[in-house]
Structure 1
């Protein structure tokens, strides 16, 4: 069942935004199954409520698809010793001084995200070297690093590897790992609860290493940008280390104030490109060894040749093949891999921006001319934003290409995609709409 759960988690990665997955679904673990009931762990009452309300049905659907039968999902609160703990909240890693009652202590660093577990290739060699230098303080007079790549290429792995390395070498250092979205939400909370001074003190004077994910999320958030810029100035002047990650260059992030843009541009900027075949093969072999899977060489080469999108897709394919082999009790071979991977690879290759535009027009009963028009009517704007979001999710197209396809600038496309990602977590009706469209794209119903 553990293998099936890994397959389900891989599927969930493709269904929700990266930040939502890391915050809510990644920490969940499989506990046990009894008849048709699947028990999953969650760290506290707040997480359980959030999972049940926003992700419960999605998790159940993925389990049912993986098992081929109906089942019920139950989220249990588990303490740090693994025993059920219905009311108390477990103490999180890296507790922050004078933290507020909401989750302000940052995210948990994944123990497996280390430099030893990172597969280095020509596509990421500079990013790896810069991150390692930042962690060890060797041959690196600068104290800020910006990692840039699309989703699923390893920037979060390297960011957390820095944190894990420093904690292992100097456990007394105060390391805060947080997303830009969490930073923004925490600042809003501080403003509403008259604790801004406490918030400023925490980040400016109580932090030795700041790991800040998805900096592009701050587009349009002027107050947060101003506070972050001042916080970064304070940290840099004190010789503290900062690692940022983003999906695009600072100059490409719309509605970003000049001070923050200048601070980001002054960092060591390191892009991470998609891996080539040789690197993908090594990634498959590394992931298989880590998970204790015996994958024949010809199967590993097949996976590396067919799954070319990103590392996440490679891992998802590997887990899916292992899960299928476990469920049908057959050895892993190329024939089995082909039956599993064919749909994944074919699905990615045939979905285009034009197909997405036609599907969205049909779903919302609008014309292609309306979708591409300058109209600002909500009945046109929202479908256009959804189409841009789906284009980013299901194609390799950069923001410039997506914007051009909809007669918009790349900044407009980026803003639309960020807005939909945020709204999916707050608007259940929108979430359901996007789920329907995603299902149709994935099953070829277009």
Structure 2
């Protein structure tokens, strides 16, 4: 059963202002700007207050570091205790979308409040906090140029790349500069939210309000536009919104997990418009960039991470940057609870736990399995010999060792002929590419992995 809010929107704003003024006296100005200034209160009931954060990264950080401070501040402002709950904008919106409205409200023409479709700025996502490397240099430069000369540099700007590589970070960074430096009216919105808002508007028939919300702005930043794939009518509406903004020389920035021509069902007229400006990609991060990101994120969390520890983290948390952030959040909680600095041994254990207690295999076992499969001696795999008959098995051994063992790149290279980390990276990338094209090799590696993990 849902709890009924006991305060109005204006009262929520007043309560939030009082709570933040108390917190501001305790934390530094920089901490307040990054972590607290982006908050809002979504509801206050008789026994709970819910704070909304832009993303799960900030939500988890506030829960683990400042829950007691929030509880104390809430008590001082409300003169009674409340359960402090943290949620994200996405969670709040999903809950809103799942709400069933009574039919009579539709016929009465009542519309959902537009504020529910507006995502607040996340000051943590700034250009200063974005780590630039070969994989994202063009996208970063283009985003920065757009933030400095909106509507002139690249319009539209279309950034594509896999999930978790920094596209949303750049959108928020642009948004921050446009709204704070240029005092522009901006709107950042995930594409799925646009689609859901469109569906809600069909129910309420409040088209004037809907169109004013998306068109009476100076800049539109829309995230994950591939969500339009299964929504033809909302694509039609977006087409006209795009034209209105573009003709008025308003800045448009779009992100996607793939180039526009690869988005299924996307009409040619939209594809051509997305190419009017600049298309740029964000590629998978290199080892060096991941290490720099790990060090930067750790610094923002107040963790003194050694270069060796950052290297281990970057090499062994091989998923997206969000997963790397999650690992660092876990390290921060660990450091706070134990009051001890994070050692490399402790980090190994944490990474192992985050992997779902995955059973790691020794590199000796991997090398032996590869040597038996290709009928060559272990000593040959570990030699400096570079003949073609040994190159592929050695690269497979490096690929499997990186995937299945806890060894660092340097350690893997050392075991296989004293090679450096760049050789291991090259071997891993080469085998990964070959697996997409060579079915026989894919079957061989599947059998090897299956045998090793028994």
Same fold (TM over 0.5): yes
Residue in structure 2 matched with residue 194 of structure 1 by the alignment:
205
Alignment of 1:42-53 (within 5 A): 47=92, 50=95
The 1-side partners of 2:302 and 2:140 are apart by 25
1:39 to 84, 88, 104: 84
SS at match of 1:142: coil
Provide the rounded CA distance (Å) in 2 between the counterparts of 1:227 and 1:295: 48
> Are 1:277 and 1:304, in contact at CA under 8 Å, matched by a contact in 2?
yes
1:124 aligns with 2:136: yes
TM superposition shift of 1:140: 5.2
Question: 1:298 deviation in Å?
Answer: 1.8
Tell me the residue number matched to 2:195. Answer: 184
Q: How does 1:17-416 map to 2 (within 5 A)?
A: 25=56, 28=59, 29-30=62-63, 32=67, 39-41=84-86, 47=92, 50=95, 100-137=112-149, 141-171=153-183, 173-204=184-215, 206-344=216-354
Q: TM-score, normalised by structure 2?
A: 0.56
Does the 8 Å contact 2:317/2:324 carry over to 1? yes
Out of 278-287 and 208-217, give the one that drifted further.
Answer: 278-287
Deviation at 1:217, TM superposition (A): 0.4
Q: Structure 2 vs 1, CA of residues 338 and 157 (structure 1 numbering), >3 Å: closer, same or farther?
A: same
Distance 2:150 2:118 in 1: 26
Deviations 1:82-136 (A, max 9, x none): xxxxxxxxxxxxxxxx995254551012111111110000000000000001111
- Quote the offset at 1:207 in angstroms: 1.0
Q: Secondary structure at the match of 1:143?
A: coil
Residue 345 of structure 1: CA displacement?
Answer: 5.3
Secondary structure of 1:108's counterpart equals coil
Is the 2:57–2:325 contact (alpha carbons within 8 Å) kept by the matching residues of 1?
no
Q: Secondary structure of the equivalent of 2:254?
A: strand
CA RMSD of aligned residues (A): 4.0
Question: CA–CA distance in 2 between the matches of 1:43 and 1:342?
Answer: 27
CA contact (8 A) 1:215 1:246 kept: yes
8 Å contact kept, 2:151–2:250:
no
The offset of 1:42, in angstroms, is 5.2
Q: Structure 1 unaligned runs (5+)?
A: 1-5, 7-20, 55-97, 351-395, 406-444
- Residues 390-410 of structure 1 show CA distances to partners (whole Å, capped at 9, x for unaligned) of xxxxxx9x9xx99x99xxxxx
Change (3 A) 1:24 1:288: closer
Aligned residue for 1:243, secondary structure, equals strand
Residues 169-208 of structure 1, C-alpha deviations (whole Å, 9 max, x = no match)? 122x11011111111111222222121122223322x111
Would you say the 8 A contact 1:229–1:263 is kept in 2?
A: no
Ranges in structure 2 where 5+ consecutive residues have no aligned partner: 1-34, 36-51, 72-81, 100-109, 361-428, 440-452
Q: CA deviation at 1:143?
A: 1.5
Is contact 1:325–1:336 with CA below 8 Å preserved after alignment? Answer: no
Against the structure 1 CA distance between its residues 43 and 128, is the aligned structure 2 distance closer, same or farther, given a 3 Å change threshold? closer
Give the SS at the match of 2:123: coil
* In 2: Cα distance, 1:152 partner to 1:38 partner: 32
For residues 185 and 206 of structure 2, the distance between their equivalents in structure 1, rounded to whole angstroms, comes to: 21
**Matched-pair contact (CA < 8 Å) for 2:150–2:251:** no
Equivalent residue number for residue 410 of structure 1: none
- Counterpart Cα distance in 2 of 1:181 and 1:159: 16
TM-aligned CA deviation for residue 344 of structure 1: 3.9
The alignment partner of 2:200 has SS state of: helix
Does the CA-based 8 Å contact 1:104-1:186 persist in structure 2?
A: no
Aligned residues: 293
Shift of 1:337: 0.6
Instruction: Tell me how far 1:230 sits from its aligned partner.
Output: 0.9
Verify the 8 A CA contact 1:321 1:336 in the aligned structure 2: no
Secondary structure at 2:177's aligned position in 1?
helix
